[in-house]
Copies of this chain bind each other. A is one copy, B any other.
Amino acid sequence: MMTDFKEIILTHKLSALFSKASFGIEKESQRITGAGTIAKTNHPTIFGNRSFHPYIQTDFAESQPELITPPMQSIEETHEWLTAIHDVVLRSLPEDEYLLPCSIPPTMPASEEIKVAKLDSGDDVAYREYLVSVYGNKKQMVSGIHFNFELNPALIKELHQLSGSAGTLKSFQSDVYLKMAHNFIRHQWIMTYLMGGSISAGSSYFEKETQHDLPLDRYTRSIRSSKYGYVNKADVHVSFESIDAYVQDIEEMVTTGKLIAEKEFYSTVRFRGANKARDLLTNGIAYLEFRLFDLNPFAEFGMHKEDMYFIHYFLLYLLWIEKDASEDEMKIGKEMNYSTALENPLQPSAFQAEGLAVMEGMLQMLEAIGAEAKISAIVKEKIEAFHNPEKTVAGQMVNALGAGEDKTTWAASLAKKYKEAAWKRPYALRGFEDMELSTQILMFDAIQKGLKINMLDRYDQFISLTYKNHREYVKNGNMTAKDSYIGPLIMENKVVTKKILAENGFAVPDSGEYHSVAAALRDYSIFAGKGIVVKPKSTNYGLGISIFKDGATFENYEKAVRIAFEEDEDILVEDFLAGTEYRFFVIGNETKAVLLRVPANVVGDGSHTIRQLVEEKNKDSLRGKNHRSPLELIATGELEKLTIQGQGYTFDSIPPAGTTVRLRDNSNISTGGDSIDFTDQMDDSYKQLAVQMAASLGVAVCGVDIIIPDHSVPATKVEPNYGVIEANFNPAMLIHIYPYQGKSRRLTMEILRLLFPEMQLEEE
C-alpha cells in the first residue's frame, strides 16, 4: 500500500482525527499467596458467572484472572478502566491472595498442581488440555497484556476519499490495518527492547525445550517474546502480506493438522473483526490486537499509562511512514525481535541506531500533527532508554534484583504493596474518583458481578448497566426507571409530600403552610406555647430550618419565619415531634437499612483532652472532607467550642472516662456526626410502614425520616407511635454502607438486585 497518509493528513488538516482512536486492554496475571506461590483456590465466586463476565475472566489456568477493559476512546479512559477493574479484583480477593505483577511466575508450581480454568464450555476446557499436551502447562502460566487498537472510522473514511482509492471503503480499511501490522512486525523489537519484562524463568519452564543454550543463569529482556516464549511449531507458516494470503495459509495449517484450530495460531499481531479467518474476506479487518507486551512489575496495573500513549503514537507512526514492510522485511523483524528478547538487559540494543531513527521519526510526526507536549516527552524518555539500557523495564528489573533479592519475595512484596493501595480508600473506585462515591461503589459492584457499564455522562453521574439484553439507566447511584416520575416531584415539595402521606393514612405532624411573612405571623397564636419546627417548603440540606422544642416567643418565631422565607417562597410551620429521628432506606418492597445519626462527639477516657480525643477519632480512614468519604472530620471551630462550653468544657478539658462530649447539636454526618446502623434493632412495624410510605409516593427507592419515641414499641393503627417528617429521593447510600458503628448494608448491591432480579446476585 503506497498511499502517503502523511501528505493527506497534513494537507487536509486531519491531525485531530488521526489522533483519535479506540483502545482496549486485556491483562492476564496469576493469583498468588503472600508467600509468592500460585494460589490453589478456585477463581473467586464473588465475581459471579464467567460465562458472560465482560471484565473479569480466567485465561488458561484457574489461578489466572484476565482483566479486560471495554473499548474506550482515549488512553486516559482505558487506563482508568484498567485501574478500576484492578481495584475491584484486588479488593474482592481472599485476604491472603494477590496478583503477581510479572509475566513469568518466579516460583513455578509442579505441573500436576496447575489447574486448567474451570470453564462452563467443555470445548474450551478440552482445547486448554490440548495446549498443555503440545506446549506443556508451564508456558500457559505466563501472562501478558494484549493491546487492542482501532483507528477512528471517520479518519479511514476521509483517507479513503482523499487518497482516491479505487477499492471499497472496507478493503481500504483492511489495507490500512495490514500496513500497520506489517510495519509493526518489522519494528516490534522496539517494544521488546523498551518494555520487555520477563527477564528470567526457572528451569522447569524450559522442561519441554530441546536446545542447549537455554537462558537459565542469565537475564534476558523477555523470555516470553523470545523463541522460548509461546510460539507455534517451526512448520507453521502464515503470510501477513494480504488477507487472502493469510486466510489461505491459516486454513491450510488447520487442514494439514499443523494447527488444531485457527486460534492455536500465535502471532504478536492478530487481525480482529471475524471469528473465523475466512470471514475476514467479507468483513475486512475491524481492528488489530497486539499481544507481545510483558507485565511491567513497576506498573501497578501491568502497564504504565505513559507506555500506552507511547504504543498509541508508535502505531500511528507505522501508518505515517511511507514504507509498508514486505514479507521479507517482516521475517527480518521477527528475527530482530527474537534476538532482542534474549539480549542482556543492561547492554545497549544491537539495533540501537534503527531504534533511535524510529524515535526521531516519531518526534517529527508529533511536531507535524501538533500532538500534546506530554507525548514528545514520553518519546524523549524512550530515546534516553535507548542510550541507557538501565532505563528499560528489563534493565530496571535486573537492577532491582541486583542485590541478590529473592525473585519470589520481591514479586510478592510488590503484589502486597499494590493490594494495599487498593484498600487505602475502600469506599472509592480508583479510576473514577472524580465521580460521586455512591456511583463509584455502584460501579464497583457492577464490575464485580459482570454488568456492562456504559458511561453516558461521567460529569452527570449517568451510566447504563447491561446484563445480556436487559439495559437499565442509573443516575446518581439510585435514580432509575423503577421510580415513577411523579414520586421525586412529590418529594421535592415538603408540603405535597406531607399532604399525600396524610391522605394515605400516615401520621404526619400538623402544620400550617404560608406564602407570606404576614400570613405566618398572623397565625402565631395558633403555635404559641407548643414545640414547633419552622422550615422552608423545598430545601433539603437543613438550610433555613429552626426548631423550638418548647415553643417560641413571638420575636423568635418571627426571626425563624424570615429565615425560612430566605430559602423558599413558601414555608411550613410544623408541630415538633419528640423522639429520635431514624432514616429508613427503602428499596423495592423492603426496608434495607435503618440508620441513627448522632451529633459529632467524643467519649472521654479520663486521660486525654477533648482536642486529643477529636484528633484520635479523626484518624479513622472513613473520615474525610467534603463528602469524599463516608464520615466527615470533626471540626474544632467556633460552633464546636460553643457547644462544649455549654457542657462546661474547653478543648483542653479532660472528660471523665466513659463520658460522651457532644461537639455539635445537629446530627448531620456532614458536620462530623456518627452514623449508626439500626436495622436489626428497629421494630419491624416501622420498617413495613416505611415501605408503604414509599409505595404511596410511587417510588421504589426512598429515604424516609421518621421520628420514633421508642423503637422497640411497635406502631399500630390506634397508637401510631411515630411521625413521618420527610421522604427523600436519591437518598445517600454511603452512610449505610460504611457506618461509623454497626453492620454495613451494601445498598448499591441492593440497587443492582432491584434492577436485575434475574441475576440473583448473592451476598458477598
Show the binding face of A for B, using Cβ within 8 Å. 13-17, 154, 456-457, 459-460, 462, 464, 473-475, 479-490, 493, 495-496, 499-500, 515, 522-526, 528, 537, 569-570, 698-699, 729
Contact = CB atoms under 8 A, between A and B. Distances in A.
A480 B486 CA distance: 5
Contacts of A522: 16
Contact of A484 (B16, B483, B490, B499): B483
Contacts of A460: 493, 495-496
Contacts of A154: 526
A537 B480 CA distance: 21
Given A475-B486, A484-B484, A528-B13, A493 B462 contact: yes
A459 B569 contact: yes
A482 B698 CA distance: 11
Contact of A525 (B16, B489, B524): B16
The 3 A-B pairs of least Cβ separation, nearest first, read A483-B485, A481-B484, A13-B525
Contact of A485 (B485, B496, B499): B485
A750 to B, nearest CB: 17
Contacts of A486: 473-475, 479-481, 483
Nearest to A524: B16
A536 B462 CA distance: 17
Nearest to A490: B473
A456 B500 contact: yes
A479 B475 contact: no
A154 to B, nearest CB: 7
Nearest to A488: B485
Given A485-B480, A485-B481, A488-B485, A457 B13 contact: no
A485 B473 CA distance: 10
Contacts of A484: 481-485
A17 B525 contact: yes
A489 B515 contact: no
B457 A495 contact: yes
Contacts of A500: 456, 464, 473
A456 B473 CA distance: 30
A653 B479 CA distance: 57
A528 to B, nearest CB: 7
Given A485-B483, A489-B475, A499 B14 contact: no
Nearest to A523: B16
Given A457-B496, A475-B486, A481-B485, 10 more contacts: A13-B525, A15-B525, A456-B493, A457-B570, A459-B515, A459-B569, A459-B570, A460-B493, A479-B485, A482-B485
Contact of A479 (B462, B480, B489, B524): B489
Nearest to A499: B456
A197 to B, nearest CB: 33
